[in-house]
Structure 1
Amino acid sequence: MNASVILSTYNAVEWLEKVLWGYSAQTYTDFEIVIADDGSRDETRQRIEELKALIAIPIVHVWHPDDGFQKTKILNKAILAARSDYLIFTDGDCVPRKDFVATHIQYREPGYFLSGGYFKLPMDISQAITKEDILQQNCFDLEWLKARGFKSNIKSLKLTAKGFGAKLLNALTPTKATWNGANASGWKADLLASNGFNEEMQYGGEDRELGERLMNMGLSSKQIRYSAICVHLDHARGYVSEEAWRKNDAIRAYTKANKLTKTPDGIKSV
């Protein structure tokens, strides 16, 4: 297969199911889904097994026991489990538009990684979105969202920009093309060369740190935030910690100051 979509999840079955329906509707289908499960309860495993029979895209479930926020560790295990040479990273709360995988495939290029973003939805609309809304792409229609109370803003251009307009916005946006965990992609060989994610890091910039090492390796980044579209379903963030942020900031500062290309606390082959 031509790509592996690696998506992270933790005890969010309803959101994960909506995301998987999004991948079932992709225009490009030569890919697999690798679910990086950071210790969810058995309910998640059971629902994934049920969905495997309903969704044509191959699904691999990579799990480890719950030990707090250990997303970097499970992502590294998912990288090793992925069977293709190109990896697309996202989260189990980001529903992809039908051209999401096709866009990553279109823009991929040796020597680069791709940097996308997401369009955040409020909780009431996140809950209201149904399987049919995803399959019919209603949740990517700004007028449909506005009819359900969404307040349009400048970020709505992510949903409405098409073709040349999207490319122009990609070029003009002041947002840097960093590695963003909800929407990024790169070559498996590059990720292995960097030793993957730094497993010492918890929530807060752990994705950016990987991208910074990739750039220290000589890679460049492409901005596709207006082309590769996913909508982000709302949720609480009980795992956010000021202590973790300070630790992660120190690690990123060390990576930058020493121009590290490889983390000593990364992928560990079994």
Structure 2
Amino acid sequence: MKLSILITTFNSEEWLKKVLVGYSLQTVQDFELVIADDGSSEKTKQVVDSFKDKFKHPVLHVWHEDDGFQKCKILNKAIIQANAPYLLFTDGDCIPRKDFVAQHLKHKEKGYFLSGGYFKLPMETSIKITPETIDNEQCFNISWLIKNGVGKSFKLSKLIKMPFIATLMNWLTPTKKTFNGHNTSCFKSDLLAINGFNEAMQYGGLDREVGERLFNYGVLAKQVRYAAVCLHLDHKRGYASPEIWKKNNAIRGYNRKNNITYIENGISQYL
């Protein structure tokens, strides 16, 4: 097996269905899905079970009881369960284009993690996306998106499906190469070396912090935001707060200043 795809979710069954449809249509199917479920109800399990026969490999559902926002904890548990040496991280509200997996596998390289992005949709457009528009890739079509609630902007250039344009834009973009939880892939061995996600952190930069410790460890990053494309469905973020952002930023600042790679409150407690 080439790849384990870790998809985080929490009580967002309708969005998760659309995301799983996207993965069932990938041009490369030699991967396993690991659903990192941060305490959802039985409805999410039912959705996961309904897709199990649509993939080459078993779909793993890693769940723990709801204890507030514990994304780092459920991701660490999911990483332990993942069977492939290479991991792709994304969220249950990000629909992958059909070549999403192929692009991550194409660009993977030892000593690097891949830094991807997303195209963010308004709620109106998010609701209008159906399995059919995912299958025929209408929802990735710029004209269709504009007709269905997306405003015109330069960001639509992310969706141009031309290898030359993607390569050029990945090179030209001023966006930093960061570890983004919605679209990043890396080697499992590198994550284990830095002890995975930092469970002292909650919402706000928790994925960036992983990337910063990978940099400190000597892992570099490659930009794939214009090659590995996904659509971000709209949702509320009731778990964000200024206090948590302040705490998380302090942790990141300390780690950068002191060249921290390995944190104590991480994946080792599940090994």
User: Which TM-score band (shorter chain)?
Assistant: over 0.9
Structure 2 unaligned runs (5+)? none
SS of residue matched to 1:231? strand
Q: Is the 8 A contact 1:178 1:221 kept in 2?
A: yes
**Deviation at residue 78 of structure 1 after TM alignment:** 0.7
Distance 1:55 1:29, change over 3 A: closer
Are 1:2 and 2:2 an aligned pair? yes
Q: Is the 8 A contact 2:24 2:54 kept in 1?
A: no
Q: Tell me, in whole angstroms, the C-alpha distance in 1 between the residues paired with 2:154 and 2:134.
A: 23
SS of residue matched to 1:211? helix
Give the 5 Å matches for 1:105-144: 105-144=105-144
Residue aligning to 1:11: 11
Give the 5 Å matches for 1:46-125: 46-125=46-125
Q: Tell me, in whole angstroms, the C-alpha distance in 2 between the residues paired with 1:227 and 1:193.
A: 28
**Deviation at residue 135 of structure 1 after TM alignment:** 1.3
Q: Tell me, in whole angstroms, the C-alpha distance in 2 between the residues paired with 1:161 and 1:116.
A: 15
- Seq. identity, %: 57
**Deviation at residue 216 of structure 1 after TM alignment:** 0.4
Q: Tell me, in whole angstroms, the C-alpha distance in 2 between the residues paired with 1:29 and 1:149.
A: 32
Structure 1 unaligned runs (5+)? none
Residue aligning to 1:32: 32
**Deviation at residue 61 of structure 1 after TM alignment:** 0.4
Are 1:237 and 2:237 an aligned pair? yes
Q: Tell me, in whole angstroms, the C-alpha distance in 1 between the residues paired with 2:57 and 2:93.
A: 18
Taking structure 1 as the reference length, what is the TM-score of the superposition?
A: 0.98
| Superposed CA offset, 1:117-153 (max 9, x none) | 0001110110111111111111111111122232120
| Superposed CA offset, 1:3-49 (max 9, x none) | 00101000000000100000000001100110000000111112211
**Deviation at residue 171 of structure 1 after TM alignment:** 0.6
Q: Tell me, in whole angstroms, the C-alpha distance in 2 between the residues paired with 1:11 and 1:240.
A: 17
Q: Is the 8 A contact 1:24 1:56 kept in 2?
A: no
The 10-residue stretch of structure 1 (226-235 or 144-153) with the greater mean CA deviation from structure 2? 144-153
Taking structure 2 as the reference length, what is the TM-score of the superposition?
A: 0.98
Once superposed, what is the RMSD of the aligned Cα atoms? 1.0
Are 1:269 and 2:267 an aligned pair? no
Residue aligning to 1:158: 158
For 1:103, the aligned partner's letter is Q
Q: Tell me, in whole angstroms, the C-alpha distance in 2 between the residues paired with 1:57 and 1:118.
A: 26
Q: Tell me, in whole angstroms, the C-alpha distance in 2 between the residues paired with 1:126 and 1:190.
A: 35
Residue aligning to 2:173: 173
Q: Is the 8 A contact 1:31 1:58 kept in 2?
A: no
Q: Tell me, in whole angstroms, the C-alpha distance in 1 between the residues paired with 2:17 and 2:178.
A: 28
Residue aligning to 2:223: 223
Q: Tell me, in whole angstroms, the C-alpha distance in 1 between the residues paired with 2:121 and 2:196.
A: 30
**Hey, which bits of structure 1, 4+ residues long, moved more than 2 A?**
53-58
SS of residue matched to 1:53? helix
**Deviation at residue 187 of structure 1 after TM alignment:** 0.1
